[in-house]
Amino acid sequence: MKKVAVLFGLTILFILLGCEQNAEENEELTSVPEPGYTLSADQTHSYWSSTIEPLIRVESGSVIEVNTEEASDKQLNHKSTVEDIKNLSFDPIHPLTGPVYVENAEPGDILKVKLHKIELGSWGWTGIIPGFGFLSDEFDEPWIKTFEFDENSNTAAFSEDINIPLKPFPGVMGVAPDTEEELSTVPPRANGGNMDDPNMTEGTTVYFPVQVEGALFSIGDAHAAQGHGEVCGTAIEAPMRIVYEVEVIKDGHEIQEPQYETDDYYAVTGYGETIDEAAKKATRYMIDYLETEHDMDRNDAYALASLAGDLKIAEVVDVPHMLVSMHMSKEVLGVK
């Protein structure tokens, strides 16, 4: 009888633990806020300018659902071959879904963008494009590999023996620059742009310096997986569904280039025509952040950046600019 009672008690305990786990999982599933606006993958532009008319106007705090096309803008598909890479045109590269006008966003403000959900599409591609890439002088032959995904995919089969973990993120995000010129989407700039930072995944909050009225935020060029550097010039380029939230910050604090944070760290970014230039800017921005947000002496901040700051190369191929970030652990800062 005692054994039966013990077994019955253990059974009840396992059931309760299972219910608790399911409740936590359900809470995670329902934690994504309901979008108030939806934009489709054909509502795009492929250059940066303050003259691009916004698709929608939203209040600060709004949640937007967007669908994004892969980087080639439908020039490639899951059956594409080397011939398609040979004929690839850069004119429509980086179709960006947007822009979104955020009410009361003004130059000098900060636009806070929370990436609530990033859902992978059904396929992706990576390739070597002649004349493009970190070693473009050594790899001058076109090459392509395609991948197919479903809702259960968490890796990409690169070969029989090699599987790459999927960590989807938007390669391009940004506000409109303060110019009427039509600027290329290829390099990162102060407005954000083609940052290609594989740390900006689901759950990340990104901060952009507003440069024009309404901010005019756009997003696209989603990547299913990418190494730091993106050395051959492409990631696993894939269509995606992204749910994000926008908020205007008017606290008088300005940033020069995008910054971001997760539950574990705060990060700054710096772009430049060399890794040295980008890394120096990122280091200065981290010192500025520690001074402003943590009331640190500048010498102390410089030393802490040396002792606990992690410089990371985001990309080295988006000419003429490269992007470097510096991460600072929130645990080290005592804010975890």
- Phi, psi for 49 (deg, rounded to 5): -170, 150
The DSSP string of 287-330 is HHHHHHHH---HHHHHHHHHHHEEEEEEES-STT-EEEEEEEEH
Dist CA 112 CA 268 (whole Å): 14
SS3 115: strand
- How far is the CA of 153 from the CAs of 43, 148, 156, in angstroms? 27, 9, 8
CATH superfamily ID and name for 37-333: Acetamidase/Formamidase-like domains (2.60.120.580)
pLDDT score, position 23: 46
Alpha carbon 230 to chain centroid, angstroms:
14
Q: What is the pLDDT of residues 282-330, one digit of tens each?
A: 999 999 999 999 999 999 999 999 999 999 999 999 999 999 999 999 9
Element counts in the chain: helices (H) and strands (E): 5, 20
pLDDT score, position 251: 86
Q: What is the pLDDT of residues 152-202, one digit of tens each?
A: 999 999 999 999 999 999 999 999 999 999 999 999 999 999 999 999 999
pLDDT score, position 6: 44
Give the angle subtended at the CA of 70 by the CAs of 158 and 72, to the nearest 5°.
Answer: 100
Dist CA 112 CA 245 (whole Å): 8
- Partners of 279 in beta bridges: none
Dist CA 216 CA 96 (whole Å): 12
Biggest alpha carbon distance in the chain? 83
Give the pairing of strands 56-58 and 217-223: unpaired
Q: What is the pLDDT of residues 206-255, one digit of tens each?
A: 999 999 999 999 999 999 999 999 999 999 999 999 999 999 999 888 99
| Reported pTM | 0.90
309 residue type, one letter: G
Q: Give the residue-averaged pLDDT of 27-56.
A: 91
Q: What is the pLDDT of residues 103-152, one digit of tens each?
A: 999 999 999 999 999 999 999 999 999 999 999 999 999 999 999 999 99
